[in-house]
């Protein structure tokens, strides 16, 4: 089988580059509206508090059966919790290595408020924003959301990109369809507490972290980026 040519990488941020679960845990255990109820939970209890919807495949505040809508609003309007999501280990280094190899890189992060999220990402990703293009999109209806699909199409036109030369890296199951529907390549990130893909989507590659994604990319795709052949000192994928 011919390996696809990949020149562009669109990164989801939460659950891919940044640890949203960390932010959720702090929020549930320390926010004044929820600490009395959830202050004693353990890290591994998060999926019990936030049941994972099978079409979503990852933790989400809105899935709490009674408090979900209010939790989501409180989280989004509490900067001390909303902004407290550290980058995963190796994220910055990997993005820099991929830049040296010539890949164009973008964020495609869905959010309740684009300006607020862009400000956060410009701070969180300050070490790579000289080459990383930060794009955000307003959330649509939960799990019936074409926001990322629409944003991908907009970015392809805006930046002169080809869908077939593009990878979307995302942890949410339903967002895999955004890549598929526009003709791009989906790759699923398996951060903590993610659930398995449904059978009809189990052909989608899955990786455990950004370093593993880089290894998958270099092993399973090709790039016509001019810098790739000059970077043999970078870590090659595991066989």
93 lies in the same domain as 203: yes
3 in any annotated domain: no
198 lies in the same domain as 126: yes
Return the CATH number at 212: 3.40.50.1000
Q: Which H or E run contains 88? A: none
238 in any annotated domain: no
175 lies in the same domain as 67: no
In angstroms, rounded to a whole number, what is the distance separating the alpha carbons of residues 50 and 15?
Answer: 15
Residue 16 phi/psi, 5-degree rounding, is -125, -60
114 lies in the same domain as 210: yes
State how far Cα 86 lies from the chain centre. 13
Q: Which residues contact 42 (CB under 8 A, 6 or more apart)?
A: none
2 in any annotated domain: no
78 lies in the same domain as 99: no
136 lies in the same domain as 174: yes
In angstroms, rounded to a whole number, what is the distance separating the alpha carbons of residues 54 and 106?
Answer: 27
103 lies in the same domain as 220: yes
pTM for the full model? 0.91
Which residues of the chain have a pLDDT value below 50?
142-143, 229-239
204 in any annotated domain: yes
Q: Which residues share a beta bridge with 134?
A: 107
Given 82, 109, 132, which residue is the final one in a domain?
A: 82
In angstroms, rounded to a whole number, what is the distance separating the alpha carbons of residues 35 and 48?
Answer: 16
Given 62, 82, 102, which residue is the final one in a domain?
A: 82
What is the tally of structural domains in the chain? 2
97 lies in the same domain as 48: no
Predicted local distance difference test score (pLDDT) of residue 112: 86
In angstroms, rounded to a whole number, what is the distance separating the alpha carbons of residues 187 and 163?
Answer: 14
132 lies in the same domain as 172: yes
205 in any annotated domain: yes
Domain around 48: 20-82
Full strand arrangement of the beta sheet holding 8-11: 132-138, 104-111, 8-11, 166-170, 185-189, 206-207
Which parts of the chain fold into alpha helices (H)?
A: 20-30, 35-38, 46-49, 68-76, 79-82, 91-100, 114-124, 147-159, 173-182, 210-220
150 in any annotated domain: yes
Predicted local distance difference test score (pLDDT) of residue 25: 98
43 lies in the same domain as 108: no
């Amino acid at each position: 089988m011919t390996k696809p040519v990949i020149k562009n990488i669109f990164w989801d941020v939460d659950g891919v580059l940044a640890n949203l679960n960390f932010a959720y845990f702090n929020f549930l255990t320390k926010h004044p509206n929820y600490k009395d109820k959830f202050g004693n939970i353990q890290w591994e209890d998060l999926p019990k508090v936030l049941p994972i919807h099978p079409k979503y495949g990852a933790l989400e505040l809105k899935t709490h059966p009674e408090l979900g809508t209010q939790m989501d609003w409180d989280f989004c309007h509490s900067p001390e919790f909303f902004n407290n999501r550290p980058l995963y280990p190796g994220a910055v280094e990997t993005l820099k290595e991929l830049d040296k190899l010539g890949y164009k890189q973008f964020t495609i992060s869905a959010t309740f408020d684009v300006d607020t999220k862009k400000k956060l990402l410009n701070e969180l990703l300050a070490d790579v924003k000289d080459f990383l293009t930060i794009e955000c999109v307003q959330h649509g209806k939960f799990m019936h959301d074409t926001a990322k699909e629409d944003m991908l199409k907009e970015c392809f036109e805006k930046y002169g990109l080809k869908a077939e030369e593009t990878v979307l890296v995302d942890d949410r199951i339903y967002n895999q369809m955004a890549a598929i529907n526009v003709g791009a390549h989906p790759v699923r990130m398996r951060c903590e507490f993610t659930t398995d893909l449904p059978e009809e989507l189990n052909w989608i590659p899955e990786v455990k972290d950004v370093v593993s994604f880089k290894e998958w990319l270099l092993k399973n795709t090709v790039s016509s980026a001019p810098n790739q052949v000059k970077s043999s000192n970078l870590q090659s994928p595991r066989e």
